Structure 1
Amino acid sequence: MLLPAPYDTWFPDAAFDGTYRFDESALRRVAPVAAPPGLADAWRRWRAQARRVDAAPRTLSSEAIDGRTVSIVEHAGVDGIRLRSWVVGPASGPARVGIVHSHGYGGRDAIDLDRLPDDAAAIFPVARGLPTLNTAVGAPEPVEEHVLAGLDDPAAYVLGLCARDLWLAADALLTLTGDVPLYYVGESFGGGIGALALPWDDRYIGATFIVPSFGQYDERLAVPCLGSGEVVREHVAAHPEARERLRLFDASSTLGFTEVPVRVEAALWDQYVPPPGQFGIANAARDLELAVLPAGHAEYPGWDAVTADAVRGGRAHLARALRSASPPAGRR
Structure 2
Amino acid sequence: MPRFAHDLPFDPAHGHTPEALLAVPAPPAPPGFDDFWRARRAAARRIDPRPRVGAFVEERDGVRVHEVTYASTSGRCGGWLALPADGRPARHGFVIGHGYGGRDTAGDALPLPLPGSAALLPCMTGMPTRSLRADVPAHSAEHVLHGIGSRDTYVLGDCVADLWCAASALLELLPELDGRGLGYLGESFGGGLGALALPWDERFAAALLTVPTFGNHPLRLTLPSTGSGESVRGYAREHPEVVDVLAYYDAATAATRLRLPVLAACALFDPAVPPPGQFAVHNALAGPHTLHLLDAGHFAHPGEAEERRRLRAATDTFFARHLR
TM-score when normalising by structure 2: 0.94
Q: Which residue number corresponds to residue 43 of structure 1?
A: 37
Q: Identity over aligned residues, as a percent?
A: 42
AA of the residue aligned to 2:29: A
**Is 2:242 the counterpart of 1:242?**
yes
Cα deviation, 1:68-115, whole Å, max 9, x if unaligned, reads 221111110113x11111010024432111100011001101112134
CA RMSD, Structure 1 to Structure 2 (Å): 1.4
Per the alignment, in what secondary structure is the counterpart of residue 152 of structure 2? helix
AA of the residue aligned to 1:59: V
Q: Identify which of 123, 127, 131 aligns with 1:126.
A: 123
Q: Which residue number corresponds to residue 320 of structure 1?
A: 321
- Whether the 8 Å contact between 1:269 and 1:275 is mirrored in structure 2 is yes
- Within 5 Å, give how 1:64-143 maps onto structure 2: 64-66=58-60, 67-79=62-74, 81-92=75-86, 93-111=88-106, 112-136=109-133, 139-143=136-140
- Whether the 8 Å contact between 2:57 and 2:67 is mirrored in structure 1 is no
Cα deviation, 1:219-273, whole Å, max 9, x if unaligned, reads 1001111000000011111111011111110000111112110111000000100
Q: CA deviation at 1:63?
A: 3.8
Q: Which residue number corresponds to residue 166 of structure 1?
A: 163
Rounded to whole Å, the distance in 2 between the matches of 1:138 and 1:25 is 44
- Whether the 8 Å contact between 1:96 and 1:181 is mirrored in structure 2 is no
Per the alignment, in what secondary structure is the counterpart of residue 232 of structure 1? helix
Rounded to whole Å, the distance in 1 between the matches of 2:134 and 2:70 is 13
Q: CA deviation at 1:127?
A: 0.8
Rounded to whole Å, the distance in 2 between the matches of 1:174 and 1:193 is 20
- Within 5 Å, give how 1:300-315 maps onto structure 2: 300-315=301-316
Structure 1 gaps, min length 5? 324-332
Per the alignment, in what secondary structure is the counterpart of residue 156 of structure 1? coil
**Is 2:154 the counterpart of 1:153?**
no
Rounded to whole Å, the distance in 2 between the matches of 1:292 and 1:6 is 11
- Whether the 8 Å contact between 1:128 and 1:137 is mirrored in structure 2 is no
- Within 5 Å, give how 1:11-26 maps onto structure 2: 11-26=5-20
Q: CA deviation at 1:116?
A: 3.1
AA of the residue aligned to 1:121: A
- Whether the 8 Å contact between 2:182 and 2:323 is mirrored in structure 1 is no
Number of aligned pairs? 316
TM-score when normalising by structure 1: 0.92
Rounded to whole Å, the distance in 2 between the matches of 1:50 and 1:6 is 42
- Change over 3 Å in CA distance of 1:119–1:32 after alignment to 2: same
- Whether the 8 Å contact between 1:196 and 1:250 is mirrored in structure 2 is yes
Q: CA deviation at 1:50?
A: 1.1
- Change over 3 Å in CA distance of 1:121–1:138 after alignment to 2: farther
Structure 2 gaps, min length 5? none
Rounded to whole Å, the distance in 1 between the matches of 2:310 and 2:127 is 29
- Change over 3 Å in CA distance of 1:164–1:110 after alignment to 2: same
Rounded to whole Å, the distance in 1 between the matches of 2:9 and 2:222 is 17
Rounded to whole Å, the distance in 2 between the matches of 1:64 and 1:265 is 29
Rounded to whole Å, the distance in 1 between the matches of 2:2 and 2:277 is 22
Per the alignment, in what secondary structure is the counterpart of residue 241 of structure 1? helix
Rounded to whole Å, the distance in 1 between the matches of 2:6 and 2:55 is 46
